[in-house]
Amino acid sequence: MSGKPDPGSLDFEKVSLTDARKALEETGPAAYATPKKTENWEEKRSAAASEPLSDAAAAWMAELPESVRPRQLALRYARLANRICEAWQTPPKCEKLLDELMMDRRGGRKGFPLPVANELATLRDHFFRLHHQGKSAWEHVEMGR
């Protein structure tokens, strides 16, 4: 090894782990991150009037296979069951609606009770299979690779 430093090398200074963390907090990515604005959706949301399950939604549910009928959804959130029923015959619209119900795009939402969330996931999978030659969403992704 020669006494001349390599022009492409970096000089390092030994510091404690505590000092390194402090420096990173002051100058690293976290220092430049803008905090997400949390919005109070409770204030923005208008109180949804209690909406009964429509006759069309009841008929739609009766046509679904027993294993995918969203009973808890219809009992607890009839308004959403009515919306899904209305969108069911328009695949792009229904797929978008089911995706929106399954994902929190606003942040900080409580989500559905587990039985309802499970029914929505099962219904989403059934819908996907109906419109993608019987393949599940995962099979569809694998085919694209």
pLDDT of amino acid 145: 47
The verdict on residue 31 lying in a domain is no
Task: Spell 68-96 as b/e; 16+ CB within 10 A means b.
Answer: ebbebbbebbbebbbbbbbbbeeeeebbe
Joined tokens for residue 116: 């309802």
Q: Quick check: is 73 in a domain?
A: yes
Helix-helix angle 78-87:91-102, to 10 degrees: 150
Number of domains in the chain: 1
CA dist 21 → 10, 12, 40, 143 (Å) = 20, 16, 33, 44
pLDDT for res 47: 54
Report the distance separating Cα 126 and Cα 65, nearest Å. 9
The pLDDT, as a whole number, for residue 81 is 97
76 three-state secondary structure = helix
Total-model pTM: 0.61
**Residue 127's domain spans which residues?**
53-143
Chain centroid to Cα 9, Å, comes to: 45
* pLDDT by 10s per residue, the chain, length 145: 556 767 777 677 788 888 877 777 777 665 556 555 666 655 655 555 688 999 999 999 999 999 999 999 999 999 999 999 999 999 999 999 998 998 877 777 788 999 999 999 999 999 988 887 756 555 545 555 4
Does a structural domain hold residue 39?
no
**Residue 40, in any domain of the structure:** no
Q: Does residue 20 form part of some domain?
A: no
Please give the structure tokens belonging to residue 100.
Answer: 């929106």
User: How long, in residues, is the chain?
Assistant: 145
**What pLDDT was estimated at residue 117?**
94
Q: What crossing angle do the helices spanning 55-63 and 78-87 adopt, rounded to 10°?
A: 70
Give CA–CA dist 130/64, Å, rounded: 11
pLDDT of residue 110: 81
**35 in a domain, yes or no?**
no
